């Protein structure tokens, strides 16, 4: 799972979240961003409204939360989601968790002990290069 810091950097670089079943997220406030939630029809449901998406907590015992807006939440994309978001820029993942991606026509490597973090770093570089 990627860190909250990397998730914030991806969001700030322009990655947008459209909550879906199975997505993990935290409440985007420093004092509560240690608790990871998962969107699920059973416990955390997505409710789309004209004013935005609301994540409703159903019967949650850990918190006295009814709901939070998607804007108050921070998506923690999974490894498979990060790989998909890299799209055609993704070249390979090798042992030792090195992701190779083509960014601005150049092959670059991103290594981390956690494959999701390596994918996240590659995606961040890809997004930032797209904006330059």
State pLDDT tens for residues 22-69. Answer: 899 998 887 777 888 887 766 677 778 888 887 777 665 455 556 677
Judgement on whether residues 20 and 68 belong to the same structural domain of the protein: yes
Judgement on whether residues 116 and 61 belong to the same structural domain of the protein: no
Judgement on whether residues 61 and 86 belong to the same structural domain of the protein: no
Judgement on whether residues 10 and 65 belong to the same structural domain of the protein: yes
Judgement on whether residues 23 and 44 belong to the same structural domain of the protein: yes
Query: pTM for this structure?
Result: 0.81
Burial of 95 (0-12, 13-18, 19+ CB in 10 A): exposed
Confidence of residue 2 (pLDDT cuts 50, 70, 90): very high
Q: What are the structure tokens assigned to 23, written together?
A: 């997505």
Judgement on whether residues 66 and 97 belong to the same structural domain of the protein: no
The residue segments making up the domain with residue 101 are 79-131
Judgement on whether residues 36 and 98 belong to the same structural domain of the protein: no
């Amino acid at each position: 799972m990627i860190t909250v810091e990397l998730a914030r950097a991806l969001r700030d670089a322009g990655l947008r979240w459209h909550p879906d079943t199975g997505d993990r997220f935290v409440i985007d406030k420093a004092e509560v961003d240690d608790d990871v939630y998962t969107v699920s029809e059973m416990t955390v449901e997505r409710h789309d409204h004209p004013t935005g998406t609301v994540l409703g907590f159903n019967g949650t015992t850990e918190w006295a939360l009814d709901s939070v807006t998607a804007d108050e939440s921070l998506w923690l994309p999974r490894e498979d989601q990060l790989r998909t978001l890299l799209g055609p820029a993704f070249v390979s993942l090798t042992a030792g968790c090195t992701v190779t991606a083509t960014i601005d026509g150049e092959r670059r490597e991103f290594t981390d002990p956690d494959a999701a973090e390596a994918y996240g770093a590659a995606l961040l570089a890809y997004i930032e290069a797209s904006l330059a």
